[in-house]
Amino acid sequence: MKIIMLGAPGAGKGTQAAQIAEKFGIPHISTGDIFRANLKQGTPLGLKAKEYMDKGLLVPDDLTCDLVVDRIAQPDAANGYVLDGFPRTIPQAEALTKALDARGEKIDFAIDVEVPDENIVNRMGGRRACSKCGATYHIVFNPTKVEGVCDACGGELILRDDDKPETVQKRLGVYHDQTQPLIDYYMAAGVLREVDGTQEIGKVFEDITAILS
């Protein structure tokens, strides 16, 4: 089962992707993790990506797609995967479709987690990240056992610049410009399914599981 998670930043698609991966025994693949792994291992693709990142440039679509295709070709992804954070643009989606076609494969479901912008601004303002291990929490929906302290490693929790209201508004603007067209792309491909992301996390997961089953 090959799944793509769609939704605005803060819609909760990462949380849902992790739960889907666990339930169906398939890897949860995020572009951030792929970049970090390739940089750490010093792979040729990772070194290529580093050249752009060091200059503060976005990694080009074709290189990002190469990194993703390399990852989904690993043995643990033989029975499927959940892609989280990729594709972000139509060129990336087209590159992925082309790469999968070449392997005789296709995406089975593109799940769009729908949440209005105002909910997202409020939601992300409550997010906190561990300054040490990067684990994320929410002061209302997913609080730590001890306020301000990471459950996983005991590190200090911070409000990332990414989660500040003014930054969130900017990110939502970029999302609507670039990523929203993906919804039309996957709808045309007949694989788009929408879920109401304003519901309680468990209910959203229930709805997604019903779609995938």
Active site residue 13: yes
Active site residue 127: yes
Active site residue 171: yes
| Strand-pair partners of 196 | 114
Among 2, 71, 127, 128, the one annotated catalytic: 127
197 by Cβ neighbours in 10 Å (0-12 / 13-18 / 19+) ranks as buried
Among 48, 160, 164, 193, the one annotated catalytic: 160
| Token code pair at residue 105 | 């494969």
Among 13, 40, 103, 128, the one annotated catalytic: 13
Task: For residues 176 and 171, give the distance between their C-alpha atoms in angstroms, rounded to a whole number.
Answer: 9
Task: For residues 68 and 65, give the distance between their C-alpha atoms in angstroms, rounded to a whole number.
Answer: 5
Per the CB < 8 A criterion, the answer to whether 101 and 69 are in contact is: no
Residues 6+ apart with CB under 8 A from 20: 3, 26, 28, 82, 205, 208, 209, 212
Among 71, 88, 123, 128, the one annotated catalytic: 88
Taking the CA atoms of 171, 172, 178 and 182 in sequence, report the sign of the dihedral they define. Answer: positive
Taking the CA atoms of 126, 178, 192 and 32 in sequence, report the sign of the dihedral they define. Answer: negative
Among 48, 50, 171, 193, the one annotated catalytic: 171
Per the CB < 8 A criterion, the answer to whether 12 and 91 are in contact is: no
Which residues does the annotation mark as catalytic? 13, 88, 127, 160, 171
